């Protein structure tokens, strides 16, 4: 008997025919679980007797270090050089690499190398991890990420190894290990150093500071931007005429916005640090003018969420701390190894505010209208970021009188933005304060939207819209 179509029984969606909402939710959940599993494994390894010198690491010390490395932050409660053994430092390095590359990106890449193809579920996971625009680009993105990561880290490691061995008389083995460690830490915007004073001994050495700065900037631009620029460069090589890199009209709005904001913040940061710290005897004061310029540029780069410091930041002015707070909160590019709310989020909000002040009905960039969804997403990320900074700062300042508000705010923003810069109070905080920073590093690495989606038990889809209402603003 023929079945009437509208009388056919409804079948619940299976795992193969899951709803679009569940497909969107599952990748975020897998990314969240992947990072949690990596942190748990790192905590277990760092808790082993072979990982530490003198005494075993406590649970909080191991958890904090594992989270800071996996979330490519750089904050530390113990000295990386003296507390951790070579085995412990290798564990930290691996956590930095896995965290920067992305747990799910790494899993997707291994599956690609083994099977030469990606299924729909794996493509969705990789899209979530790499912030790729479309699933059709995932294969190219994964292979491009791998190639670029290896090449960038290898180049920086080679330069640093040669410099450490030739200028500082380090044994070749130690110089090579130091070069590799700092190259991986810099490209992944981690900020971990195996020197107790971080980059302070190299404040006037451009052969150390500039390669590290270059790795930080490149890693912070974001893989979508890097791959687009590389594709345009290759297109130019195969064609005659002007280089495509100079044809800004061929750049996507995302790439133009990321490059413009990154360049602007680096320039503004360099000028500000020069002006604010020029005569400070605790930071730039003892340096000659060229070294001051190098130190200012280095410190302008590091709030891109890298975490290295070439001067003693505990001796910086309060105004410098506050300006650094702003740079850390903004962060760097989307889809890369940096944290913060991202430069594109900041720029979208700025454009939306400017358009509203001018009375324009649409917020536009380079003759392109920003969708309302993009503006709402930027506002959500920014406000969640503000809440993630304000509430922990309030809780910590109310519970202790040992630290000033400036110091606590600096540490909290550094943790949320996965920067790793510190005024030197992290190790002196109470255990529950450090656990708060652990939660902030985890939130800041995954991003408020990814974390919220991954932890959501369900989402609601309305089939109707309510009537509009006018509310007086201001």
Res 143: pLDDT: 74
**Chain segment 143-182, per-residue pLDDT in tens:** 777 888 899 999 999 999 999 999 999 999 999 999 999 9
Start-to-end CA distance of the chain, whole Å, equals: 67
Other CB atoms within 10 Å distance of the CB of residue 11: 7
Instruction: Please give the structure tokens belonging to residue 29.
Output: 């959940």
Token pair recorded at residue 198: 């971080």
Tens digits of residue pLDDT in 230-285:
777 666 555 555 554 556 667 777 788 888 899 999 999 999 999 999 999 999 99
pLDDT, tens digit (0-9, with 9 covering 90-100), for 418-458: 998 998 899 999 999 999 999 999 988 877 656 555 544 44
Taking only the tens place, the pLDDT of each residue in 184-216 is 999 988 989 999 889 999 999 999 999 999 999
**Three-state secondary structure string covering 391-442:** HHHHHHHHHCCCCCHHHHHHHHHHHHCCCCCCCCCHHHCCHHHHHHHHHHHH
Residues ≥6 apart with Cβ < 8 Å to 115: none
* Dist CA 266 CA 220 (whole Å): 12
216, 199 contact by CB (below 8 A): no
- The three-state secondary structure class of 240 is coil
CA angle 324, 325, 326 (to 5 degrees): 90
**Which helix H or strand E contains 469, and what residues bound it?**
none
Mean pLDDT of the chain: 81
Contacts of 285 (CB under 8 A, 6+ apart): 277, 278, 279
Report the Cα 120 to chain-centroid distance in Å.
27
CA angle 183, 187, 190 (to 5 degrees): 90
Residue that has been written with the tokens 């550094």 in this structure: 414
Distances (CA, A) of 137 to 236, 295, 345: 20, 39, 23
Q: Determine the Cα–Cα distance for residues 415 and 61; give it in Å rounded to an integer.
A: 15
Percent of the chain exceeding pLDDT 70 equals 78
What is the distance between the alpha carbons of residues 453 and 25, in angstroms, rounded to a whole number? 6
Q: Going by C-beta distance under 8 Å and a sequence separation of 6 or more, which residues neighbour residue 408?
A: 393, 396, 397, 425
For the chain, which residues make up each domain, given as ranges? 22-237+246-454
Is residue 242 within 8 Å of residue 155, measured between CB atoms? Answer: no
Output the six-digit token pair for 94.
Answer: 């691996």
Tokens of 13: 């969606």
Task: State the pLDDT at residue 10.
Answer: 42
- 174 exposure class (CB count in 10 Å sphere: 0-12, 13-18, 19+): middle
Question: pLDDT tens across 343-370, in order?
Answer: 888 988 998 888 888 777 777 777 778 8
Alpha-carbon distances, residue 383 vs 329, 378, 390, 454, 460 (angstroms) = 12, 9, 10, 19, 22
Tell me the DSSP string of 129-167. Answer: HHT-S-GGGHHHHHHHHHHHHHHHHHHHHHHHHHHHHHH
Compute the distance between CA of residue 302 and CA of residue 46 in angstroms, rounded to an integer.
27
Q: What is the pLDDT of residue 206?
A: 95
Say if CB 71 and CB 443 are below 8 A apart.
no
What local confidence, expressed as pLDDT, does residue 15 receive?
41
User: 6-15, 22-31, 227-236 — which is least confidently predicted?
Assistant: 6-15
For residue 369, list its beta bridge partners.
364
Whether residue 396 is predicted with pLDDT greater than 60 in this model: the reply is yes
> CA nearest 385: which of 342, 335, 438?
342
Among residues 429, 371, 359, the alpha carbon closest in space to that of 397 is found at 429
pLDDT at 448 (0 to 100): 65
Say whether 47 sits in a helix, a strand or coil. coil
pLDDT tens digits, 284-321: 999 999 999 999 999 999 998 888 999 999 899 999 99
pLDDT confidence bin for 465, thresholds 50/70/90: confident
Mean pLDDT along residues 361-388: 82
Q: Give the pair of three-digit tokens for residue 306.
A: 């890298």
Residue with tokens 């083994």: 114
Answer yes or no: are the C-beta atoms of 75 and 437 closer than 8 Å: yes
**pLDDT value, residue 5:** 44
């Amino acid at each position: 008997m023929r079945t009437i179509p509208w009388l056919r029984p409804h079948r619940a969606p299976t795992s193969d025919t899951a709803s679009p909402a569940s497909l969107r939710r599952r990748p975020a959940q897998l990314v969240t679980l992947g990072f949690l599993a990596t942190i748990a494994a790192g905590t277990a390894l760092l808790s082993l007797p072979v990982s530490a010198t003198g005494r075993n690491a406590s649970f909080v010390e191991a958890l904090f270090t594992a989270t800071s490395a996996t979330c490519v932050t750089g904050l530390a409660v113990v000295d990386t050089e003296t507390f951790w053994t070579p085995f412990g430092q290798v564990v930290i390095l691996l956590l930095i690499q896995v965290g920067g590359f992305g747990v799910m990106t790494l899993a997707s890449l291994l599956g690609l190398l083994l099977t030469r193809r990606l299924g729909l579920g794996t493509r969705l996971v990789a899209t979530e991890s790499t912030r790729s625009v479309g699933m059709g680009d995932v294969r190219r993105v994964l292979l491009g990420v791998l190639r670029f990561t290896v090449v960038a880290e290898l180049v920086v490691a080679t330069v640093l190894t040669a410099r450490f061995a030739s200028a500082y008389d380090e044994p070749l083995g130690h110089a090579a290990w130091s070069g590799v460690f700092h190259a991986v830490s810099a490209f992944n915007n981690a900020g971990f150093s195996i020197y107790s004073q971080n980059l302070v001994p190299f404040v006037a050495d451009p052969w150390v500071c500039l390669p590290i700065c270059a790795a930080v900037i490149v890693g912070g631009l974001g893989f979508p931007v890097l791959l687009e620029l590389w594709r345009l460069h290759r297109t130019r090589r195969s064609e005659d005429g002007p280089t495509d890199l100079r044809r800004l009209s061929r750049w996507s709005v995302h790439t133009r916005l990321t490059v413009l904001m990154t360049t602007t913040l680096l320039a503004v940061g360099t000028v500000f640090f020069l002006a604010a710290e020029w005569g400070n005897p605790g930071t730039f004061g003892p340096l000659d003018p060229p070294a001051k310029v190098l130190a200012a540029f280095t410190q302008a780069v590091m709030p891109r969420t890298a975490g290295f410091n070439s001067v003693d930041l505990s001796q910086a002015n309060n105004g410098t701390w506050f300006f650094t707070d702003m740079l850390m909160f903004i962060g760097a590019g989307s889809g890369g190894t940096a944290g913060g709310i991202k430069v594109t989020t900041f720029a979208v909000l700025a454009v939306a505010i400017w358009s509203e002040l001018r009375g324009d009905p649409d917020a536009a960039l380079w003759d392109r209208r920003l969708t309302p969804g993009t503006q709402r997403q930027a506002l959500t990320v920014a406000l969640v970021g503000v809440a993630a900074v304000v509430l922990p700062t309030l809780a910590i300042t109310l519970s202790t009188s040992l630290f000033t508000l400036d110091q606590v705010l600096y540490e909290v923003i550094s943790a949320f933005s996965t920067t790793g810069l510190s005024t030197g109070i992290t190790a002196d905080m109470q255990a529950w304060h450090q656990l708060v920073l652990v939660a902030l590093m985890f939130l800041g690495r995954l991003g408020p939207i990814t974390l919220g989606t991954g932890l959501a038990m369900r989402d609601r889809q309305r089939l109707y819209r309510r009537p509009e209402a006018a509310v007086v603003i201001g």
